[in-house]
Amino acid sequence: MTTASVWIVAGQAAGESTAAPEDLPLDMCDGRPAPIDGLRADDAAGFLKALAHEGRLMILCHLAGGPRSVTELEKLLSTRQAMVSQHLARLRHEGLVTYRREGQAIYYAIADPRVTRAVALVTDMFRDPPAAP
């Protein structure tokens, strides 16, 4: 079985590289050798599946600004506490968030700064462009 690699050079859209695809090594990604060896594809897939739900993505977007209580997230998302808790449980299961209890309140935070960077990348990619003056 053979595999093909995606080639995208940072700062350029797919297919706009100055080098032809046949000139690039098959293990190139983002202009650097892709670290295929040691790639934990199952962990990466779990991470991407966690991001694949709008509610979970929005929770991570809010948490990127700092810790939030479940009640705060419920209000920010305009959804029921049960739904927020379900999404937070999935994010905890994937190791993307941590929590701490303060009295009756439970505060959640992003567990790893790489998650914040990934969320920033996704929001940057899919943010509407600014309106023309």
Beta strand extents in the chain (DSSP E only): 28-29, 32-33, 68-69, 97-102, 105-110
Radius of gyration of the chain (CA): 19
Round the average pLDDT of the chain to a whole number and report it: 81
Name the pTM for this structure.
Answer: 0.70
Whether residues 48 and 34 fall in one domain: no
Whether residues 98 and 72 fall in one domain: yes
Query: For residue 103, what pLDDT is reported?
Result: 96
Query: For residue 34, what pLDDT is reported?
Result: 61
Instruction: With respect to residue 133, please indicate whether it lies within any of the assigned structural domains.
Output: no
Give the pLDDT confidence of 34-76 residue by residue, as tens digits. 667 788 888 888 899 999 999 999 999 999 999 999 999 999 9
Query: For residue 8, what pLDDT is reported?
Result: 33
Rounded CA-CA distance 81/70 in Å is: 7
Under DSSP, is residue 57 helix (H, G, I), strand (E, B) or coil? helix
User: What one-character DSSP code corresponds to residue 55?
Assistant: H
Is the alpha carbon torsion for 88, 89, 93, 99 positive or negative?
A: positive
Mean pLDDT of 8-12: 35
Whether residues 47 and 23 fall in one domain: no
**Domain containing residue 30:** 1-39
Whether residues 35 and 53 fall in one domain: no
